[in-house]
């Protein structure tokens, strides 16, 4: 029997088996919501080949539609599948993806869209979701952002109950997708959870417990203390503020900024006095304040850790209350 005929799919390929359904939002470069792109997609392992297909319905208006609408053409491209690198062989996308467990961080080029994409997908089995985002560039210039949640099915074509479940999920996504990334305005509290931590060679090192204390000091700013214990063991504090969709991190321990595109916030945070930074993508998963966080640590400009997980919000007391002036 040939080596090719006994080839097994990668761990990530096994994890994404099935047909995924989503209604990703489309944002312009400034963060304005412009519409949706309804998507069905799957990565199919057959014999010694992996084929990725995607059917899209670009429900959008304005200049981005002319660029990204495929007029019903189905995306279909070959993938060299492995747990080291997933290589995309065209014609629709050319580039590669780098798996870290259930996360894949991809960078590839779309000839049809003339954009270079950074796409991050994280599967959350406990939530039944895939948390997706794409940043689309011309060289280093951002031109658009796609993001949204996906659910997976195994029998969508034949099961009316599954079809109804998907339609209900997509309707919920349409309602939630343009909500802005705004953290609690008047209540203090904590985010608690655990990150998986991978090194620069994509090896799982273990876990890190995450505790984030959060206290609003105004309607658009808060004091934050982050405590990490485990594989990554450190604590740091900062004042964060928000003006519309622009977020700032104002020391004393980290400085940086970020921009939100709906429920998704991308940021870069530089540690004071160190050659260390975090580049993050944080996603508000629901109205309860649940955060899906992906933090990429860089030391001396080189990849150090890729850490990710879900953080649950535990509200505390209301610290911004009505004020009064005595007559």
For the chain, counts of helices (H) and of strands (E)? 3, 21
pLDDT tens digit sequence for 243-267: 999 999 999 999 999 999 999 999 9
Q: What is the percent of the chain where pLDDT is above 70?
A: 98
Over residues 45-56, the mean pLDDT reads: 89
Q: Which residue has the tokens 């489309």?
A: 26
- Compute, in degrees rounded to 10, the torsion defined by CA atoms 41, 52, 306, 299: -130
3 state SS of 324: coil
The β-bridge relationship of strands 187-198 and 25-28 is unpaired
Q: What is the structure's pLDDT at 254?
A: 98
How is residue 18 annotated by DSSP? S
The structural domains of the chain, ordered by start, are 4-176 (2.40.128.20), 187-315 (2.40.128.20)
pLDDT tens digit sequence for 284-307: 999 999 999 999 999 999 999 999
CA distance 85 to 79: 10
Residue 26, CA distances (Å) to 60, 149, 304 in order: 8, 13, 31
Q: Tell me: pLDDT of 3 over 80.
A: no
Q: Which residue has the tokens 């997908």?
A: 121
Rounded to two decimals, the pTM is: 0.94
Q: What is the structure's pLDDT at 178?
A: 85
| More confidently predicted of 287 and 47 | 287
Q: Tell me: pLDDT of 190 over 70.
A: yes
The β-bridge relationship of strands 33-46 and 75-80 is unpaired
Over residues 32-51, the mean pLDDT reads: 90
- Contact yes or no for 267/258 (Cβ under 8 A): yes
pLDDT tens digit sequence for 151-173: 999 998 899 999 999 999 999 99
Q: What is the structure's pLDDT at 1?
A: 33
Q: Tell me: pLDDT of 2 over 60.
A: no
CA distance 100 to 83: 8
Residue 297, CA distances (Å) to 124, 292, 294 in order: 21, 16, 10
Average pLDDT, the chain: 94
- For residue 325, name the pLDDT band (cuts at 50, 70, 90): very high
CA distance 26 to 66: 13
Q: What is the structure's pLDDT at 6?
A: 60
CA distance 147 to 142: 14
Over residues 44-67, the mean pLDDT reads: 89
| DSSP labels, 46-75 | ETTEEEEEEEEEEEE-SHHHHHH--TTPPE
CA distance 273 to 152: 45
pLDDT tens digit sequence for 79-114: 999 989 999 999 999 999 999 999 999 999 999 999
The β-bridge relationship of strands 33-46 and 25-28 is antiparallel
Over residues 223-229, the mean pLDDT reads: 98
- Contact yes or no for 304/298 (Cβ under 8 A): yes
């Amino acid at each position: 029997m040939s080596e090719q005929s006994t080839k097994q799919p990668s761990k990530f390929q096994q994890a994404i088996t099935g047909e995924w359904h989503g209604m990703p939002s489309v944002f312009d470069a400034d963060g304005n919501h412009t519409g949706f792109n309804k998507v069905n997609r799957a990565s199919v392992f057959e014999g010694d080949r992996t084929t990725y297909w995607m059917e899209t319905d670009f429900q959008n208006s304005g200049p981005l539609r002319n660029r990204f609408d495929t007029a019903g053409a189905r995306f279909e491209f070959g993938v060299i599948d492995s747990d080291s690198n997933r290589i995309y062989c065209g014609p629709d996308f050319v580039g590669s993806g780098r798996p870290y467990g259930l996360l894949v961080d991809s960078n590839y080029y779309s000839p049809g869209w003339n954009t270079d994409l950074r796409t991050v997908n994280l599967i959350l089995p406990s939530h039944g979701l895939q948390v997706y985002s794409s940043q689309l560039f011309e060289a280093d210039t951002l031109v658009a952002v796609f993001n949204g949640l996906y659910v997976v099915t195994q029998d969508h074509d034949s099961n009316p109950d599954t079809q109804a479940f998907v339609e209900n999920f997509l309707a919920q996504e349409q309602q939630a997708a343009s909500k802005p990334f705004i953290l609690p305005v008047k209540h203090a509290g904590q985010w608690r959870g655990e990150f998986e931590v991978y090194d620069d060679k994509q090896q799982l090192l273990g876990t890190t417990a995450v505790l984030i204390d959060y206290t609003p000091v105004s309607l658009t700013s808060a004091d934050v203390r982050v405590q990490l214990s485990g594989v990554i063991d450190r604590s740091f504090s900062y004042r964060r503020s928000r003006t519309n969709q622009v977020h700032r991190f104002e020391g004393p321990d980290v400085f940086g900024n970020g921009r939100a595109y709906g429920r998704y916030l991308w940021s870069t945070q530089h540690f004071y006095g160190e050659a260390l930074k975090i580049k993050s993508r944080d996603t508000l998963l629901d109205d309860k304040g649940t955060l899906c966080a992906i933090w990429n640590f860089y030391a001396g400009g080189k990849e150090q850790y890729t850490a990710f997980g879900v953080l649950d919000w535990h509200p505390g007391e209301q610290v911004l209350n009505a004020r009064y002036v005595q007559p």
